[in-house]
């Protein structure tokens, strides 16, 4: 995969090729490439790739090709009936064969800062989490306002959002209704054995601030893109602390704890630690957390049969960085 570094803020580690049913990343140079000399006003990381269109899925072109084949077949049968004087049939038009080769569309995946043009895409992804859905608009606005610590996965062709990751300070945004609502949910659902710890994390009185860790993405985002999305968030946090305007801003961005509300489902047996996470990386974060507890999440639709749950994952900065190492090893294989 080829990577292009557009600013000192963003860089990526893109080893190996990722492949999904409809998406395949193209390895152009067999490794990572970046250049400090390449810079522009757009703080974004661009990954060259390609989208493979599934040949088994019919579209208008396939329908047209099928109709043309049928017309050729009828013409051929009609001409077979017309005999020449020497008993030979006239030549027929060669039958057009429908191509089964996949159609390749070149795409540049862009990792960039959140801004207003991504509002609807961010809101749509946030709304898919039933715990966050009542506050999806407010949370999308917070992610956009908090663009120093947050990354959006999009393309250079449109405003679609394929995924995002962000950390929102619980203290500096305590006046926000959606942050207050999420803090209340965490405390109300917290079991007694973790109550004191949870109250301390959410109090805003810790040496380093705590932040709500938000991340959502489309289901067909590749393993490699997911890894880079998290790496970009870490780089954003480090960059924000290093380039803070004053000491107060530096302290507000130097997170010491992270609270993640991860969507999950009940596993086999329904016992403790049997959750099946919607996103595989949340399981890695959970294994490196200080403590984890789960509660029943509201249903998105009444007809939903599968019981949705929410896992509250509380990590220190040390635990988060340890999880990042595991994630990088899983993605890169080393």
Please give the C-alpha separations between residue 285 and each of 124, 135, 220, 241, in angstroms, as whole numbers.
24, 24, 20, 22
Model confidence pLDDT, tens digit, residues 127-144: 999 999 999 999 999 999
Model confidence pLDDT, tens digit, residues 226-236: 999 999 999 99
User: What secondary structure does DSSP assign to 96-119, as a single string?
Assistant: PPPP-SPEEEEEEEEEE---GGGH
- Cα(123)–Cα(119) distance, integer angstroms: 6
Model confidence pLDDT, tens digit, residues 232-283: 999 999 999 999 999 999 999 999 999 999 999 987 655 556 789 999 999 9
- Dihedral sign from CA coordinates of 267, 320, 140, 134: positive
- Note whether 260 and 315 are within 8 A (CB): yes
User: Which pLDDT value is given to residue 91?
Assistant: 47
pLDDT bracket for residue 84 (50, 70, 90)? very low
- Cα(234)–Cα(228) distance, integer angstroms: 10
Lookup: tokens for 139? 């949370």
Lookup: tokens for 21? 């049913």
């Amino acid at each position: 995969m080829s990577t292009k570094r557009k600013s000192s803020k963003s860089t990526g580690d893109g080893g190996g090729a990722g492949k999904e049913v409809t998406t395949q990343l193209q390895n152009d140079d067999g490794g990572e490439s970046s250049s400090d000399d390449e810079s522009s006003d757009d703080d974004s990381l661009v990954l060259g790739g390609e989208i493979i269109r599934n040949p088994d899925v019919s579209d208008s072109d396939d329908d047209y090709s099928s109709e043309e084949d049928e017309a050729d077949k009828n013409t051929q049968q009609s001409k077979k009936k017309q005999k020449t004087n020497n008993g030979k049939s006239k030549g027929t038009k060669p039958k057009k064969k429908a191509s089964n080769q996949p159609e390749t569309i070149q795409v540049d995946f862009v990792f960039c800062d959140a801004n207003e043009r991504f509002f609807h895409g961010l809101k749509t992804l946030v709304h898919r989490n039933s715990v966050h859905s009542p506050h999806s608009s407010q949370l999308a606005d917070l992610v956009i306002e908090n663009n120093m610590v947050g990354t959006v996965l999009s393309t250079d062709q449109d405003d679609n959002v394929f995924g995002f990751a962000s950390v929102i300070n619980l203290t500096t945004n305590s006046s926000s209704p959606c942050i207050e609502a999420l803090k209340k949910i965490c405390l109300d659902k917290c079991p007694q054995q973790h109550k004191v710890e949870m109250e301390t994390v959410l109090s805003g009185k810790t040496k380093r601030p705590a932040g709500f860790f938000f991340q959502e993405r489309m289901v067909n985002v590749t393993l490699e893109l997911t890894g880079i999305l998290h790496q970009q968030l870490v780089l954003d946090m480090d960059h924000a602390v290093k380039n803070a305007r004053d000491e107060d801003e530096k302290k507000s961005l130097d997170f010491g704890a992270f609270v993640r509300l991860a969507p999950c489902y009940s596993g086999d047996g329904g016992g403790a630690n049997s959750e099946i996470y919607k996103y595989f990386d949340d399981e890695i974060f959970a294994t490196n957390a200080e403590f984890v507890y789960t509660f029943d999440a509201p249903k998105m639709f009444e007809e939903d049969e599968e019981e949705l749950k929410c896992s509250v994952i509380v990590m220190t900065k040390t635990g988060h960085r340890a999880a990042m190492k595991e994630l990088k090893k899983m993605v890169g294989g080393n």
